[in-house]
Every structure is written in C-alpha cells, then in structure tokens.
Structure 1
Amino acid sequence: MNKTDRLLAIVLELQRNEVLRAEDLAAIFETSVRTIYRDIQALSEAGVSVIGAPGQGYSLMEGYFLPPVSFTVEEAVTLLIGTDFIEQWFDTHYSSKSRTSRKKIEAILPEPIRSEATRIRKSFRLLATAEDKTRIQEKTYLEVIRRTILEERKISFHYSKRIAEANGNRQSVRTVAPYGLVLHQGSWVLIAWCELRQDIRHFRLSRMTELIELEDRFMLPADFHLDVYQPPDDRNVRVRIWVQPDIADKVRESNNFYIDTIEEQAEGLLVNLRVRQPEELLHWVLGWGAGVVVLEPESFRHRVRNELEKTLKRY
C-alpha cells in the first residue's frame, strides 16, 4: 500500500472507530509506529481534523466527515455481488434493502466503472435453491428470529430432529433464547439457549414449524460472542468406509460435514468420519449404493445391511 492509499485508509479507520492508538494503526497497516506518526502529521497539514490525546490515541474532530470515495472496478463488483447474495439468502426486509442499495451503488459509479463492473458481473452467477414452500417459510422465520434476537425476546417452535431419540420421538416443542443466526452449507441455523436441554443448541430453520414470538425477555451472556463461538465437538464415534474409484471424486466433492480424513489408495478411497451416532450417516452411505462399503464399526455394518434387506423386500 502506497502512502496516499494509506492516508485515506487511516481516515476511514478513524471514522469507524472513536479512538485508535498509533500502535493499533501500525498493526492494521503493517508498518512502524514512526511511520504512523508521520502519516498523522501529513493528514493534519492537509486539513484533516485529527485530534491526538496523550495516552489515549487519535480521533477525528466531531462533525468531520470524509467526502464519498471512488471505487475501483474490483471494489464495485465486490459490493454488487454482495447485494446479490443478500437478496437470495436473507429475509424479505434485507432482500428489498439489497435491491435499493444496488441501485444507489450503480448510480454513483462513473460510467466507465459501471460498464466494466456490469461486464465482469455477467461472468459470475450465484445459484440458490428453488423457491419452494420450505424456502419461503425459512425466509419468513429468518425475519422473525432476527427481530427477536435484537429485541432479546424468547421464541418457541415445534422442532423435527433428523434422527429419532431413544424413545423414538423426532418431534419436540422448544422454548429458546435466540443468540444468533449462522448460514452453514446453504442452510440457516439458529444458535440458542434451549430451556428443554438447559444448554446451547443448534436448530435448522427448515425443521421448525409453528414459530411463536414470546414476550419473555432474556439477556445475552456477556461471555457469548457469535463471531468466535465454537460448538463443542462431541463427535466421538469413528466410522471408516471404503469408496470405489469410479465415485471417489463425487464423494470427495460432497464435502460431508462428518468427514475427518481421506486417504488416497490405489484401489479407491479410505474415508474416516467422526459422528455422534452412526445413524447420522445412514442415508448418506446408502445413497452411494454399492460404491461405498462400511468397514467399521461392525454395528453400523449390520445397520446398513438390515436397511438394504428392507429395501430389497419392497422390490
């Protein structure tokens, strides 16, 4: 980054933050503190109202605002593709805002930049799943849950688990304190404190029904931060499968969440997976037909064999 770009970037950082130390700016721009001192001096001489407080850092004088900056073609394309993504994956409210944002961005771009950005965007395409009933309901729930997270209000819903519990039940009613939303592998997932389980749980919006907003309030724990949250890894059961060479690429590209390691062998792939319970892999394994063989555990081999025998009887 040359000096001119860095000076502009420093002003933008000061606009976003109330106070920044020289050490902070040096870390951001990967330069020395002495260089930052010289940059601040150059900004002051250029008329930028930078205030320095000994022992605290630098800030911009209240009311100072940098005029609109120009975008490069790459920056414009990045912003426009971002609006496409939000329109496809977010709820109705943000979908409409993304469209108006796109129009405003395009309106302020100089004609050469706008034309080149349009040309480049035509070489990209974001594919979303079909707008079926389930997807429409998921977007509706997304808007409701997003609102309750901001208002710190609880919600309740009926939830359908993919795998039945020990008592055979797959359906349950949950009351939760919603902490945040995560888009994971094309599906929206709610991170929430579940009153039934008395712990943090994850819920796919696509498996929810009868969502209700409650008046009960909750307080987000001070030590919970969605951007650094990592769920405990309780996948303690190991499954090993052998994959036939002619479908090896397809299995590799499936990006199954439970895959731990893949070992290339002359006669195919040896895939190691970690799960909470082997049944989580049952339909995935069956979907590959004879191209996949379960090596261990033996109990899961029997489970797959029994399921295939049931299927054979139907035919």
Structure 2
Amino acid sequence: MNDHYLKKLDRVTAILTQLQSKPLVRAQDLAEKFEVSIRTIYRDVKTLENAGIPIVGEAGSGYSLMDGYKLPPVMFTKEEVLSFITAEKLMQKFSHESLGSHYRTAMEKVRSVLRHSDKNLIQTVEKQVDVFNYHAQSTDSVKNVIPLILESIAEKMQLSIEYRSMDSKVSNRIIEAVGLFFEFNYWYIMAFCTLRQDFRQFRVDRILQVSKTSVPFSKEYGGINDYRKNSGNDVTKVKLLVDKKIMGHLVNSKRYYGLIDETETDEGVVMTFETEWIKEGFPRWLITFADYAVVLEPETLKTKIGELITNISTKLQ
C-alpha cells in the first residue's frame, strides 16, 4: 500500500472518530483540521458511506452518525495511551474539586476499553510520573459548582449567585456565564452581570450559594477570550522602568497584571500596564521587585508603595 492510501486510511479513520465524538461535523472544519480540500473530505465521507457507515447530512451543511448507531470501542495508539497518564496526573493536582470525581469515573471507563497490553503499559509507567503543586487548593462552599456553571452555559440559562468579594462584602447577583478559566491557582467565571449591566470576573471559591434559574440569556456571547481583556472593571495605566536583569523573573506574572507594552531602552525596560488592581494587587506585586524598578506613572502608585514600605518597616521594628 503506497503512502497516498495510508494517509487516506488514517484520515478516514480520524473522520469517523470525529463523527463519533461530535453531534455535527462540518466539511470545512475537517478540511482545515487535516489540511486537505473540501472536495477531498466529500470523497472521504463517501468512502465511509460505501463501507456501510450510516452518515446523515450532506455537503454544505454538516455530517453526523445516524441516531442510535453504535461502533465498537476506538483502539488507541501507544502514544495516546501514554498521554492519558500525564493528563490524569495533571487533573489530580490541578482540577477543581467538583470535577475530580467525574474525571476519575470517566478515566475508569476509558481504561475499561483498553487492550490488556495497554493496561499493563499504564500500570508500569503511571508510578513514574508525578506533578508537584506548591499551591494549596481552594475549598468551595458549593458542591459541584463547576458542573452547574457549565450546564448553565450549555443551556444558556442565568445563574443566581451569592458572592463574597475580596473585601468580604456579600452581594446577590444574577449572571449569564460566558465561560470558565483557570489562572494562578484559582478558577474564575467570566460572566455578564445583570446588576452592573457589564462583564465581570467572579472567583469560583468566593461563591457562597448558586442556583440555575429558568430565565434564558438576554443575548448571544462569543468565546471567553473575547471578554477576558474587557471585563468592564476600571483600569489604570501604569508605566515602570525596570532593570533588565530582573526581567526573566517576571515572565509569567507581568501578563497577569495587565502588561500591554514592553520597550527596551538604554536605562532599562519600559513596561506599560493597564491594571484593575491599582489599589492593592498591583502595588503588592510591584513591591516584590521595587528595588529594581522606577514608577514613571501614576503618582498615586508611588504614594501607595511608600505607604506599604512604611507599614512593613513599622512591623519589623
């Protein structure tokens, strides 16, 4: 069998996997995924139909398997089986507690369809892989909070939440959850807040109560990354002149605190931020490398840093 037919066989098998895993698959998406023409995808789908696979749909709309049609368990490659190990270790350390038990039962089902040799492979290797997490995981007030949030996103139904802010103020909100993201060891909801009539971020572990309402979303939303940088909170522009030798230590955190520009000069690196945390979060982060930085603007940040240093000095006396 020549290389052309081997590639086609791999692609047709992968298309069948896509049909098994999704309710509707577009030819255009398949063409982009496999880097072939749409006409090639049409021929591949025809190949599957000729092999007796009952595919519903047609060119120009989308394809799906006939409802109720079942296929034998998918056979995994050795590389795919080994990837399960690292994925499982990561989930054990970094997954939200409301997802952990569901993931474990899902993995048990995946393991149940593996070949005997693959099960032995996992058993041999899994004790040789570990992930070290140096951050304490947060504890939620609400059981199964993330699955409930995901349900509301899928069903496009509003959530009613009781929320405790950073300064311990408790408020009741009606939100339309756009998505979830994990950052700096915490899970966050990006949502449209009906009270503020704007987008807000809510830390999941600060939700005291949550319930799904019967009220549908008021509007359609895009992907979560369309909103993360425009959450509606007040932002302050900050400019710092930072010593070049400290830049390597700021690689991850600088993006979190709103970096929008970075310009290298003879005196150092001019870093420009747009931050929502000018009163507390940003000054406390800046103080960790303040001896290597000069605040160019705003003046209020200089004042806040001075107050923090004075407070620290007083407690050290």
Using structure 1 for the length normalisation, give the TM-score: 0.76
Distance 1:44 1:158 in 2: 53
Equivalent in the alignment of 1:260: 260
Shift of 1:250: 1.4
Q: Alpha carbons of 1:265 and 1:115: their partners in 2 closer, same or farther (altered >3 Å)?
A: farther
Shift of 1:233: 6.1
Shift of 1:259: 1.9
Shift of 1:202: 1.1
Q: Alpha carbons of 1:305 and 1:223: their partners in 2 closer, same or farther (altered >3 Å)?
A: same
Shift of 1:191: 2.7
Question: 3-state SS of the aligned residue for 2:173?
Answer: strand
Pair 1:9 & 2:14 matched = yes
Q: Check whether the contact 1:91–1:143 (CA below 8 A) recurs between aligned residues.
A: no
Distance 1:305 1:145 in 2: 40
Which one-letter code corresponds to 1:205 in the other structure? V
Equivalent in the alignment of 2:175: 177
Q: Alpha carbons of 1:196 and 1:223: their partners in 2 closer, same or farther (altered >3 Å)?
A: closer
Distance 1:174 1:142 in 2: 18
Which one-letter code corresponds to 1:96 in the other structure? S
Pair 1:77 & 2:82 matched = yes
Q: Check whether the contact 2:73–2:113 (CA below 8 A) recurs between aligned residues.
A: no
Question: 3-state SS of the aligned residue for 1:272?
Answer: strand
Unpaired segments ≥5 residues, structure 1: 163-169
Shift of 1:160: 2.3
Question: 3-state SS of the aligned residue for 1:239?
Answer: strand
Distance 1:69 1:112 in 2: 15
- Equivalent of 1:103 in 90, 100, 108: 108
* Aligned positions, number: 302
Q: Check whether the contact 1:87–1:94 (CA below 8 A) recurs between aligned residues.
A: no
Most deviating of 298-307 and 211-220: 211-220
Q: Alpha carbons of 1:197 and 1:172: their partners in 2 closer, same or farther (altered >3 Å)?
A: farther
Shift of 1:100: 2.8
Q: How big is the alpha-carbon RMSD for the aligned residues of Structure 1 and Structure 2?
A: 3.5
Q: Alpha carbons of 1:200 and 1:87: their partners in 2 closer, same or farther (altered >3 Å)?
A: same
Question: 3-state SS of the aligned residue for 1:218?
Answer: strand
Pair 1:299 & 2:300 matched = yes
Deviations 1:167-193 (A, max 9, x none): xxx624232225143223321112334
Which one-letter code corresponds to 2:215 in the other structure? F
Distance 2:136 2:231 in 1: 33
Shift of 1:32: 2.4
Deviations 1:237-264 (A, max 9, x none): 3212233355332123434412223334
Question: 3-state SS of the aligned residue for 1:278?
Answer: coil
Which one-letter code corresponds to 1:219 in the other structure? P
Most deviating of 34-43 and 147-156: 147-156
Distance 1:214 1:69 in 2: 37
Distance 1:158 1:62 in 2: 42
Q: Alpha carbons of 1:256 and 1:44: their partners in 2 closer, same or farther (altered >3 Å)?
A: closer
Equivalent in the alignment of 2:3: none
Q: Check whether the contact 1:73–1:113 (CA below 8 A) recurs between aligned residues.
A: yes
Q: Alpha carbons of 1:155 and 1:128: their partners in 2 closer, same or farther (altered >3 Å)?
A: farther
Distance 1:199 1:227 in 2: 14
Q: Alpha carbons of 1:253 and 1:36: their partners in 2 closer, same or farther (altered >3 Å)?
A: closer
* Identity score, percent: 25
Q: Alpha carbons of 1:178 and 1:80: their partners in 2 closer, same or farther (altered >3 Å)?
A: farther
Distance 1:278 1:92 in 2: 31
- Residue pairs, 1:98-137, within 5 angstroms: 98-117=103-122, 124-131=129-136, 135-136=138-139
Distance 2:49 2:150 in 1: 42
Using structure 2 for the length normalisation, give the TM-score: 0.76
Equivalent in the alignment of 1:166: none
Q: Check whether the contact 2:175–2:193 (CA below 8 A) recurs between aligned residues.
A: yes
- Residue pairs, 1:1-315, within 5 angstroms: 2-17=7-22, 22-23=27-28, 25-50=30-55, 53=58, 58-117=63-122, 124-131=129-136, 135-136=138-139, 138=140, 140-141=141-142, 143-144=144-145, 146-147=147-148, 150=151, 152=157, 154-161=159-166, 171-179=169-177, 180-206=179-205, 208=206, 211-213=208-210, 217-227=214-224, 229-231=226-228, 232=230, 236-257=235-256, 258-265=258-265, 268-276=268-276, 278-279=278-279, 280-314=281-315, 315=317
Unpaired segments ≥5 residues, structure 2: 1-5
Q: Alpha carbons of 1:122 and 1:291: their partners in 2 closer, same or farther (altered >3 Å)?
A: farther
